[in-house]
Amino acid sequence: MSDQADVLAANAARGFAATCAAAWRTHLGPSVLGVYLIGSLAHGGFSRRYSDIDVAVITESGLTPADFDVMRTDAAKVSAELAAKLSIFWTDRTFAAGRFPPLDRADYLDHGSALIERERITPARPDLAEVRAYLTGKPFEGWSQGAAQFAALETLEPQSHKSYLRAHLYPARFVYSFMTGRMGSNDDAVEWLQDRAPPGLDVALIGQALDCRRAAADPDTLFPARTLLPRQVAACAALVAECEAEQP
């Protein structure tokens, strides 16, 4: 039943994104090269409660702050509820500007689903070294800091449910992408980990978080495991150090 609810929510999110894309094309005009679904709506694993609606916008020369204001307003007119979940990735024809990190570029190349396409732009695929450099920068730093903060909490507030669950799921996504250079769903990442987990990583705990996400449940039952998050960070840090030591 929860699977069907997620399917219905994913369909609604796709319809929302398609309507937004049509409105954006009216505003942006011929500069639009393509608007695409990426993320869980493209590669699978959409959660009605926990997923964002990831949309990639590629134009001739990128987007301006004024463009964003109009696009956000258009989205809110379609659905204020879904607009709150909207995450816009954007760039220009050369993929030299905007917000389009290497891992999301790989996701676009592998899974991008066109809502509007005037011209298919094919940037260079980020190699494994580029993906690893990206992952071990701000994403790892942000997860590490968040894990430490969660580990020190006495109570878990409802507004932190999404970020707390993501903190438990992130090591699977991190290791999967760090080792493969690809973007995949939480389900793909956890399955990939089953016989490839680095030493010290608690895969069973990640599996519990995935079950919670699939059920669209509150993560309160996982709150006692908050003190284990720094161990998960340490296991991933050890993997990074090992791989760096193996470099010639």
pLDDT digits (tens, 9 = 90+) for 114-171: 999 999 999 999 999 999 999 999 999 999 999 999 999 999 999 999 999 999 999 9
Residue 154 falls within a domain, yes or no? yes
CB 54 within 8 A of CB 38: yes
7: left (phi over 0), alpha (psi -120 to 50) or beta: alpha
pTM: 0.94
What's the rounded mean pLDDT across residues 161-186? 97
* One domain for residues 23 and 83: yes
Domain end among 117, 140, 164: 117
Range of the domain at 78: 2-117
The residue among 218, 216, 210, 213 whose CA lies nearest residue 193 is 210
Query: What's the total number of domains in the chain?
Result: 2
Q: Please provide the average confidence, as pLDDT, over all residues in the chain.
A: 96
Place of tokens 């987990």: 197
pLDDT at 1 (0 to 100): 39
Rounded Cα–Cα distance for residues 100 and 85 (Å): 18
* One domain for residues 112 and 208: no
pLDDT at 2 (0 to 100): 57
